[in-house]
Amino acid sequence: MLHEIHESRLLSPRSFQAGLLDSTYENVLEHIDCGVMLFDEEGVLTFVNARAYGMLEIQRYTLAGCTVVDLLTHLSLSRIKKRQLLHIYRETVYKGKTMYEFMDEYGRYWEVNASFGAGMNGSYLFTFKEISDYKKIEQTAYQNDNLAMLGKLSASIAHEIRNPLTAIRGFIQLLRPHLQGLGKEEYAKIILAEIDRANDIIHEFLSSSKPSSPQAGIISISALLKEVILLTESEVLMKGCQIVLNAIAGELYISVDVKQIKQVLINMIRNALEAISDRLDDTTGRIELGAYREGGEVRIIVSDNGKGMDVCTMSHLFNQFFTTKENGTGLGLSVSDRIIKNHGGRISVSSRINEGTSFVISLPLTPGFTA
């Protein structure tokens, strides 16, 4: 029976004799980023690392010589931890599962992996890894999937509502002379105006997710950026932030649908403002616009010192309906990306968590107009 536990590390003498664990491996196991617990064939705990006993919120020496049953009745172990261990025991040892997930009393998610059977010479090895971040991403992805479906559904409903509206409009126009005869022409006017309003709302909703083909006009980059600053400045100032235009070398001209490119820049500035408000410290928010020439292209930069974003967010940024905001639709950047692609350009992004984000829009310069 292996009840004599090496108290400082809770490693069985047998493990040492078998040469399974020398001091290097022991160190690795001790400092590894997951909890490790090893029970021998008699069900006695022979190894527990710092992360595992930290998770159990119990002193290591009190675990010396414990069997599974001792653990489940351990005086220093909280009731909630005992319940968690019992569930782990039931799901793995009893039901034979090799993986089990649970949420602890602090809302953290854990994945338990159990190794036993032939390869383990009768021992049971449990590893505990915190997977809260992964769970958060999974939940966001699930939410976004639902939002995407909802978005597509609303787009098709909006589209279908237009047909009966057109029919109603036609019939009201036919009835108009009769209403006039009754002295109720006002009613027809109101109905027509309301139908037109409903049509406008639907048109706006549908075109927000599908930009029309560009109407070209030539504009200088500095004029474009100045106009955009003028349009957004009051919103920026109201939020206690600054917006600045960095000096642009020479006059650069582009042939674009000015309305659409302005929409892209305003989308980016709004995102920047939202990222600044989401920053936890009280750094003054700053949005910088700039542009420079690179060969036959102009690069327009929109940068902020907002909360930044992680790699996962960056990889989904331009997907339709992808949003991390409670009230976001996730259309801003997907529409912007399509507008820029329709102009023969592209958008790239770089970001650092808690430092900020930079969007770079590359667009072809108009030949003959560049000073």
Ligand X SMILES: Nc1ncnc2c1ncn2[C@@H]1O[C@H](COP(=O)(O)OP(=O)(O)OP(=O)(O)O)[C@@H](O)[C@H]1O
Q: Binding of Mg ion at residue 330 (CB under 5 A)?
A: no
Question: Which of 55, 330, 339, 347 is the binder for ligand X (CB under 6 A)?
Answer: 330
Paired residues of 286 in beta bridges: 242
The partner in contact with residue 254, picked from ligand X, Mg ion, none with C-beta cut-offs of 5 to 8 angstroms by kind, is: none
Length of the chain: 371
User: Which is nearer to ligand X, 35 or 308 (by Cβ)?
Assistant: 308
**The binder of Mg ion chosen from 332, 343, 359, 360 (CB under 5 A):** 332
Q: Which of 127, 144, 313, 366 binds ligand X (CB under 6 A)?
A: 313
The residue within the footprint of ligand X, chosen from 306, 340, 343, 347 (CB under 6 A), is 306
Return d(Cα 85, Cα 231) in angstroms, integer.
59
Quote the least distance from Cβ 316 to ligand X, whole Å: 8
Strand-strand pairing, 346-352 and 35-39: unpaired
The minimum distance between CB 137 and ligand X, in angstroms, equals 12
Q: Confirm or reject binding of residue 151 to ligand X (CB under 6 A).
A: no
Mutual orientation of helices 132-181 and 185-208 as an angle, nearest 10°?
150
Within the chain, where are the H helices? Answer: 13-17, 23-31, 50-56, 68-72, 79-89, 132-181, 185-208, 221-238, 258-277, 311-316, 332-342
- For helices 258-277 and 332-342, the axis angle rounded to 10 degrees is 150
| The binder of ligand X chosen from 88, 317, 340, 360 (CB under 6 A) | 317
Contact string (CB under 5 A) for Mg ion, positions 262-281, x = contact: ---------x----------
Contact status, residue 182 vs residue 145, Cβ threshold 8 Å: no
84 binds ligand X, rule: CB under 6 A: no
Which x/- pattern over 229-268 shows residues binding ligand X (rule: CB under 6 A)? --------------------------------------x-
Give the number of other Cβ atoms within 10 Å of residue 192's Cβ.
15
The residue count for binding ligand X (CB under 6 A) is: 23
Distance CA 17, CA 234 (A): 75
Q: Considering beta carbons, is residue 113 or 342 the nearer one to ligand X?
A: 342
Residues 6+ apart with CB under 8 A from 192: 169, 172, 173
| Residue ranges in contact with Mg ion by CB under 5 A | 271, 332
Residues that bind ligand X (CB under 6 A): 267, 271-272, 275, 304, 306-309, 313, 317, 322-325, 328-334, 357
